[in-house]
Amino acid sequence: MKTVNIALPKGRLGEKVYQMFRAAGFDCPAIEENNRKLIFENREKGVRYFWVKPSDVAIYVERGAADIGVAGKDILLEYRPDVYELLDLKVGNCRMAVAAPESFRDFVGSTLRVATKFPAIAETYYNKKCRDIDIIKLNGSIEIAPILGLSDVIVDIVETGTTLRENGLIPIETIVPISARLIANKASYKFKNEELRAICAGLEKQVNNND
């Protein structure tokens, strides 16, 4: 049995996803201990988990440091890593949306200023609509961009909409639903095929049980 390296996103989503791996029979008791370690292994089950920044999971998998990992669809759409997307885990559900102040009216005669952490997703979306846009790449606190007149709209992840409402914004268009996906390195899928398929099948059962 070959050891499978699994990159999990640090934080609440990662913990939830680990519970799915555990229920699927790929537990790792060391991970449940309260400590600051980042790598955990269960040799008996042939798994080695490590916690990484959520936006880095796809990089670890694409470059083969991890055989599989769990990444949000937002990251996959934004960075387009060359990986397999094997399963929709149906957790971490939210959506990528366009939001704007309630008073916003889209005057198509002028360039739309879009503030976002996800320039590639925003560009693809507006290109399909043939809408001329000016992308303003920000790294956080996107919601304040329209309030301060930096942008007309924002493209961002919306979970409950509370943060938007509290900043006087409303979602006006949904671009794509987002959830956590199981991704795999392409070469690992060839050389650890049996192991990866077993994990994927175990997780698929968990997804179906949760439905």
The minimum distance between CB 152 and another protein, in angstroms, equals: 28
Does position 64 bind another protein by CB under 8 A?
A: yes
H/E stretch holding 40 reads strand 39-42
Nearer to another protein by C-beta: 63 or 131? 63
Residues 37, 39, 53, 85: which binds another protein (CB under 8 A)?
Answer: 85
Calpha distance 142→174 (Å, rounded): 17
Does position 186 bind another protein by CB under 8 A?
A: yes
Binding range to another protein, per CB under 8 A, among 42-50, 129-137, 153-161, 182-190? 182-190
Calpha distance 40→52 (Å, rounded): 12
Residues that contact another protein, how many (by CB under 8 A): 19
H/E stretch holding 183 reads strand 180-184
The minimum distance between CB 182 and another protein, in angstroms, equals: 10
Does position 206 bind another protein by CB under 8 A?
A: no
Query: What type of residue is 158?
Result: V
Does position 52 bind another protein by CB under 8 A?
A: no
Task: Give every CB contact of residue 80 below 8 A, 6+ residues apart in sequence.
Answer: 120
Does position 116 bind another protein by CB under 8 A?
A: no
Closest CA to 77 of 128, 108, 119: 119
Residues 11, 43, 53, 82: which binds another protein (CB under 8 A)?
Answer: 82
Does position 119 bind another protein by CB under 8 A?
A: no
Does position 68 bind another protein by CB under 8 A?
A: no
Residues 31, 87, 112, 121: which binds another protein (CB under 8 A)?
Answer: 87
Under 8 Å between Cβ of 60 and 66: yes
Q: Which residues of 60-73 are buried (b: 16+ CB within 10 A; e: fewer)?
A: bbbeeebbbbbbbb
**Binding residues for another protein (CB under 8 A):** 59, 62-64, 82-88, 184-191
